[in-house]
Homo-oligomer: A and B are copies of this chain.
Amino acid sequence: MNAEPDTRSRILATAREMFHSRSYADVGIQEICAGAKVQKGSFYHFFPSKQDLAMAVIDDMADDWAHGFVAEAFDQALPPLERLDYMIDAAYYWQKAAKDIEGRMPGCLFGNLALEMSTRDDVMRAKLNAVFDKAMDKFRTTLDEAVLTGALAAMDTEATATAMLAYLEGIILLAKARNDPEVILTLGPAIKTLRIEMRH
């Protein structure tokens, strides 16, 4: 019997929920230990610093999403444009469920951390950009396929994919400010109108 993986998971889950629903700076290690019911010594055994913990939280959430609704949304069996609809729907239902439970729309953990920490932590910033790169790549592959099958006219798919990711983060930002997931549903479908032409 080895309790270690369980202890580590408990710290991760507690930190993830606290960082997401509040902020990185607002949550202290002591509070995380109390929430996860672990001793500080045990915490430092798994995570030498709060930054190390944040890195693991980002990996953990990115992995969950990559194997969860991001995988479902960008399923190659769906027509390309329906994948975009699915992604918006998934973001809406996820935020709505979180608000129904906690009364607060937490927004996107990656966007939250990017705005809170980018000027002060280049290690975390690099980690977040790697997550954004992967998301952007899903959009780009989708757009490439839509162009190839004639569903969309030729465009700069890389720039447009980045624009779509920015828009998704932007509508989640505004919805969080309004504490209203319906903003995602109202604004989301317009993601398909974004277009950046190829440079000549």
Contact = CB atoms under 8 A, between A and B. Distances in A.
Interface of A: 21-23, 25-26, 104-107, 111-112, 114-120, 125, 128-129, 132, 159-160, 162-163, 165-171, 173-174, 176-179, 183, 186-187, 189-190, 193-196
Nearest to A110: B177
A190 B195 contact: yes
Interface of A: prevailing SS: helix
B177 A173 contact: no
Contacts of A125: 177, 179
A194 B196 contact: no
A21 B119 CA distance: 7
Top 10 A-B pairs ranked by shortest CB distance? A170-B170, A166-B170, A25-B25, A114-B177, A104-B119, A166-B171, A169-B170, A166-B174, A193-B195, A115-B115
B111 A115 contact: yes
Given A25-B23, A25-B25, A167-B170, A190 B132 contact: no
Which of A114, A118, A129, A162 has the largest count of B CB atoms less than 10 A from its CB?
A118
B179 A174 contact: no
A165 B174 contact: yes
A160 B190 contact: yes
A56 B160 CA distance: 38
